[in-house]
Structure 1
Amino acid sequence: MPQRRDIIGFRGGLDLVSQPMLVPEGFVVAAENYEAAPAGYRRVDGYEVFDGRPAPHQATYAVLTFGSGSTAITAGQAVTGAISGATGIVLYTPTLDSGSWAGGDAAGTLVIYNDVGTFQSGENILVGGSPVAVTTSVSTRGGAATDAENTQYTQDAIEARRSAIQPVPGEGDIRGVHALGADVYAFRDATGGATMDIWKATSSGWTLATPTNRTLDFTSGNVAPSEGDVIQGATSGATATVERVVLQSGTWSGTAAGYLVLSGQTGTFVAESLNNTTTSATNIATIAGDSAAVTIPGGGRVRAIQHNFYGGPSTNRLYFVNGQGTAFEFDGSVLAPIRSGVPAAQDKPTHVGVHSNHLLLAHPGGQLSTSGTGKPLSFLSADGAVTFAVGQDVTNLLSSAKTATVITCVSKIAYLQGNDKADFVVQDVSSDSGAKADTAHMVGEPHFVDNYGVRALSAAQTFGNWAIGTVTQLVEPLFTGRRSTPIIAAFRVTDKAQYRVLWNDGVGLTIYFGRKNPECTLFSLGFTPAWAGSMLLSDGEERIFAGDANGNVYELDAGSSANGAKIEAFIRTPFYNQRAPYDEKRYHRVLLDVTNGGGGITLYGSANVSYGDPDQPVVPEQQKDLFGGGGIWDTSFWDLFSWDSPLQVTATLEMEAIGTGLSLVIASDSTYEAPHTIASMSIQYTPRRRLR
């Protein structure tokens, strides 16, 4: 009887609920570190430590020769070309080809990384400003003599970069990582845990960015100072520059009361009146004593949002809360506390949002406060501020449109509508369903995690607190089994049309929204996350970060490895029975269509027949390597896979197996391989007899 072919495209994601014979074609019944993608199932990208220094996975190297060496050059030294100004870091202590350092005629080859510019031939090589040798060639990027050396130099350059990256100073968990413009900031408790610091990622690593501002309370205000004015104590002579002016009550006609945010204070203020030395105005307000340092209380989770309330080219600012003290406004150089008008002991908002150009703060107990219109530091009713109550602790604030903000609680969902105080209204969506904290995001419409899975807001309105209506029904056992495992966060990955959920043990779920129906797969991180989220920088680039309890910040979807370790990935297909579940077949081979991500691929595969019948042998696991230049060699006894192209390749699994259905396991285990995509499989078989 002639052989037949059953072609199956890989799409659909995990199906953990269908009966084995009824799992649709293209779905998988187990998967880790593969994700649904437009062309099939793609091995996930890697992740790596981050502190603003050059990314490890982007490391390059250059090679140059030298002579007239008089001072030993060692690995890790920074070298500079005296004429070209080119720079680099020595990757290996060079082995001399001739001469000696002591004799001043040492000659050899330098391999450098983090190279910038091109060294000229015949120029001095400087270390610490002093000449140590003379180049005898120009530097050549990627100039290894062999493919093996190129691979080794590249990988060693990657690891050299990785080893330089440091955790955020301080103690305890990473409390948050947030973007402001083009900059990335991390939040971590200072030593002792009483306060928290802000650290900026720079080309030299984490740099302390917590401003040293102070606040000065005033009463009896007569003349408002402007930002940038210098005030002076009429008695003490102390001076400071005004960075922010916050009016909390009264008017600037003798009854104004509030606080100033100051910088550059000299001297100590006492109970006295204030003068404005910039405008020469005197007795502008009265103070009761010295200013107080602005500090961020330690603990909690830092939630933040960027917004430009003032409309200027440089007035985009970060607004953040951590549930331990007031909200704050931060512009990179000024840190201003935001007193929202509730009693100081309760002024500890847990969530922050923006609604119709009002800052929105959620306090414990379900109280919501909006700032004045376009005035994020003012919570005066006269400026348009208003308060609401939703009756439960808020778990998410999500601005879904210009005039609508979704408010989720543990068992309630509502939304805020309106443009200002005159027409603000809170409407209930559901009174018996809610959302897990830090999981609400826009994916076409609002999506969030509840006790039963991931749900769209429209489904919550229709189904309430029922398992039906989730977009994760096919992986419902996963959510049931992990209900007691805390969720760190959910976040979206716009470029990949994904929504991801991450638990605190490093296990995550990716939902792909690029086709008609959502497709779910699992991933696993090699560290225990304490915080995670995605953010948009000012250049439009989306970045994804996670932090752990040791102060490390990781960038996700970066590189090919698990921060220098292997990424272990696999998928298992259901038992495909060629639409004849009770007919026996002889299976001859399986052809896999794979798209190479670049460079080499190593895959492993095995198969089972007849739904795991113990009387039927397992097709043994085998390995085949493909290298980007098209070179192929067998590394398995069984010669399991064969490849026919360096980019779009077909892997052939030969077998002689008899059964009613076939299930395939495909695995990958690599550190430096670029991700690949498994697009489809073709099962070649011969029908035999019908079982009775």
Structure 2
Amino acid sequence: MASNTNPIVIPLAGGLNVAVSDQMMPPGECTELLNYEITTTGRYQRMQGYERFDGQDSPAEVAVIDLPGFPFDTIEETIAAVRAAQEARRALITAVPGSGPVLGVFMFAGIKYAFRNTVDGTGAKLYRATAIGWVEVVTPALSPGGRYQVIETNFSGAADEQEIIGVDGRNPAFRFDGTTFTQITGPITPDQPTYCEALASNKLLLSYRGGSLVYSQVGDPAGWDGALGAGEIAVGQEIVGIEAQADDATAIHCRNRTYMLYGRSEVDFQLKEISRNSGAIPWSIQNMGQSLYLDDRGLTRLDRVQSFGNFESSTLSQKIQPILTSRLQSVAASCLVRTKNQYRLFFTDSTGITMTMYGGEVMGFSEFRLGFVPSCLFSGEDTAGRELVFAGGVDGFVYQLDKGNNQDGAAYTSRFQTSFMSMGRPEDKKRWRKLVIECDSVTRVFGQFRCFYDYADPNIPMADIIVGSGSKWDLSDWDDATWDGSSTSWTDQYIDGVSRNIAIQMASESDYYPPHIVSQLFLHASPRGRRR
């Protein structure tokens, strides 16, 4: 290798950026970042898969040592046996009984529940996930076609009296304690509340079509007597979400306007307009200490609207704004993944956006692609404190996200492409000699790498590289594989190209191996003079 070769370190950080030119992007940001997520330390990690769910044994939890014939003679036989056992479990898991999309999914006391229309479409039913699959829960007759939103709360103050309050826009609100499902008769006709929230003062808030917000008596979510403290507030626009904030404040989100309701009760309630021209797109609202939601200008956090007003500076998503602008009308659902400091936004074309934050700062964005269209989302903790994320599908199945290493049995591709990097000398040619990729993995990683030169000039040949890295999975140390540890590997790949800039693309596809992390690149290059 030439003596004037200089190694250049490129930390892979910053995430997806499709809003500026390549030469304005820091090296390591990507013009494509698919099915990777950004860790809280800023690195790029392949996203986990998902699997269908109904309470029966999980395909992802097949243990190889429990399979007949273990130990197997080869790694290939081991993998084939695990896949066959996973498929056998998967075939037993059924969709929620009924027709149409899943209307809502939630978890209470560690048990998972789902709503779906009946087979003939004339009603809706609630089901509980059990060890034998979905089992119907007795409810009053429910009208079909709603979209359920639930909160877990406690109006009695007793530690053992938690309950679910829910609405769906087609039926009266309901309360459910895991055994008894009863409807709450509201104060407005038709009695079809759309969103709900509970205040710290033990008042229930319900929104109704037409811009009406009602609040119950203290401690009684079914009490609507004005003489006892219940009442109504009109906001003049359709409400698309209600989110309690800190310090006795509640955000009232409309499509093109935002209000804040201050106070604990009718004694000190004050409704203030926060933004006259900025609102939220339905089902994009989540609470990360402050309400976070998608507006026409992009992903917005409520405190930034309060600070900056109705301007682009109040948004968090300038780097991916072209993507969001093209999908404003196709938002399907959203959720938080608190253990990863992530906000995820799902679209009706099976794609989505992940935003990772650390403290109040955005670490970056990435895209993902699913094999199903989500109709509703729920994330929460089970009785052991583990965070679980479930998606109801348009196909009637419930899926557990961040589970397993495939997409309901199918392989999926993770891919990134860096910007075209000139290393601070955009007009100088370089001879690219070696690419070193750092990858953390507890197993093998098979990847394909390509180098693009001078904005993919067709006159400059590309380099295709096949790479394997990570610790070995041999039969002898299968039980000793450290799934939650890391093994850092470097791969040296010799390349040959002369150009002003270079972009690196990596693709990895698997239905078996767990996620890996790509941390940084090392490019060895030598100068070749100024472009003429």
Counterpart residue type for residue 157 of structure 2: G
Query: Is the 8 Å Cα contact of residues 333 and 375 (structure 2) preserved in structure 1?
Result: no
Query: Is the 8 Å Cα contact of residues 630 and 646 (structure 1) preserved in structure 2?
Result: no
Larger radius of gyration: 1
Query: Is the 8 Å Cα contact of residues 447 and 467 (structure 2) preserved in structure 1?
Result: yes
Residues 89-138 of structure 1 deviation map (CA, whole Å, 9 limit, x = unaligned)? xx7xxxxxxxxxxxxxxxxxx45xxxxxxxxxxxxxxxxxxxxxxxxxxx
Question: Which residue is 1:650 aligned to?
Answer: 490
Question: Which residue is 1:26 aligned to?
Answer: 28
Runs of 4+ in 1 over 6 A off after TM superposition: none
Mapped partners of 1:564, 1:316: distance in 2? 36
Mapped partners of 1:651, 1:385: distance in 2? 67
* Secondary structure, counterpart of 1:408 in structure 2: strand
Question: Which residue is 1:555 aligned to?
Answer: 400
1:405, distance to aligned residue in structure 2 (A): 1.2
Question: Which residue is 1:76 aligned to?
Answer: none
Query: Is the 8 Å Cα contact of residues 122 and 144 (structure 2) preserved in structure 1?
Result: yes
Out of 466, 474, 488, the position equivalent to 2:332 is 488
Out of 108, 128, 131, the position equivalent to 1:180 is 108
Across the aligned residues of Structure 1 and Structure 2, the Cα RMSD in angstroms comes to 1.9
Map residues 516-531 of structure 1 onto 2, 5 A cutoff: 516-531=361-376
Change (3 A) 1:442 1:549: closer
Task: Determine if the alignment matches structure 1 residue 574 to structure 2 residue 419.
Answer: yes
* Secondary structure, counterpart of 2:77 in structure 1: helix
Query: Is the 8 Å Cα contact of residues 572 and 663 (structure 1) preserved in structure 2?
Result: yes
Structure 2: runs of 5 or more not aligned = 475-484
Counterpart residue type for residue 167 of structure 1: A
Counterpart residue type for residue 323 of structure 1: G
More displaced 10-residue stretch of structure 1: 305-314 or 145-154: 145-154
Mapped partners of 1:668, 1:166: distance in 2? 30
Number of matched residues? 517
Question: Which residue is 2:481 aligned to?
Answer: none
Question: Which residue is 2:452 aligned to?
Answer: 608
* Secondary structure, counterpart of 2:529 in structure 1: strand
Question: Which residue is 1:285 aligned to?
Answer: none
Mapped partners of 1:511, 1:674: distance in 2? 22
Mapped partners of 1:308, 1:348: distance in 2? 22
Query: Is the 8 Å Cα contact of residues 245 and 289 (structure 2) preserved in structure 1?
Result: no
* Secondary structure, counterpart of 1:387 in structure 2: strand
Question: Which residue is 2:501 aligned to?
Answer: 661
Residues 194-238 of structure 1 deviation map (CA, whole Å, 9 limit, x = unaligned)? 221111111111111134xxxxxxxxxxxxxxxxxxxxxxxxxxx
Counterpart residue type for residue 307 of structure 1: T
Mapped partners of 2:50, 2:524: distance in 1? 38
Question: Which residue is 1:453 aligned to?
Answer: 298
* Secondary structure, counterpart of 1:295 in structure 2: strand
1:369, distance to aligned residue in structure 2 (A): 0.9
Task: Determine if the alignment matches structure 1 residue 47 to structure 2 residue 54.
Answer: no
Structure 1: runs of 5 or more not aligned = 64-90, 92-109, 112-141, 212-293, 632-644
Map residues 218-617 of structure 1 onto 2, 5 A cutoff: 294-343=140-189, 346-356=190-200, 357-401=202-246, 403-484=248-329, 486-514=330-358, 516-596=361-441, 598-617=442-461
Residues 293-342 of structure 1 deviation map (CA, whole Å, 9 limit, x = unaligned)? x2221112011111111123432111111111210111122111111222
Q: Tell me which of the two structures has the higher relative contact order, counting C-alpha pairs closer than 8 angstroms and 6 or more residues apart.
A: 2
* Secondary structure, counterpart of 1:459 in structure 2: helix
Out of 4, 11, 14, the position equivalent to 1:12 is 14
Mapped partners of 1:660, 1:565: distance in 2? 40
Question: Which residue is 1:635 aligned to?
Answer: none
Mapped partners of 1:605, 1:411: distance in 2? 45
Residues 392-447 of structure 1 deviation map (CA, whole Å, 9 limit, x = unaligned)? 11111111125111110011111122122211222111111100112222224221
Change (3 A) 1:629 1:295: same
Out of 191, 196, 204, the position equivalent to 2:124 is 196
Task: Determine if the alignment matches structure 1 residue 684 to structure 2 residue 524.
Answer: yes
Mapped partners of 1:687, 1:61: distance in 2? 53
* Secondary structure, counterpart of 1:209 in structure 2: strand
Give the TM-score normalised by the residue count of structure 1. Answer: 0.72
Query: Is the 8 Å Cα contact of residues 7 and 681 (structure 1) preserved in structure 2?
Result: yes
Residues 129-165 of structure 1 deviation map (CA, whole Å, 9 limit, x = unaligned)? xxxxxxxxxxxxx543443332222222222111111
Mapped partners of 2:90, 2:460: distance in 1? 47
1:535, distance to aligned residue in structure 2 (A): 2.4
Query: Is the 8 Å Cα contact of residues 328 and 335 (structure 1) preserved in structure 2?
Result: yes
1:539, distance to aligned residue in structure 2 (A): 3.1
Mapped partners of 1:384, 1:537: distance in 2? 35
Out of 456, 468, 484, the position equivalent to 1:625 is 468
Residues 65-100 of structure 1 deviation map (CA, whole Å, 9 limit, x = unaligned)? xxxxxxxxxxxxxxxxxxxxxxxxxx7xxxxxxxxx
Counterpart residue type for residue 501 of structure 2: G
Mapped partners of 2:326, 2:265: distance in 1? 44
1:53, distance to aligned residue in structure 2 (A): 1.2
Mapped partners of 2:428, 2:340: distance in 1? 40
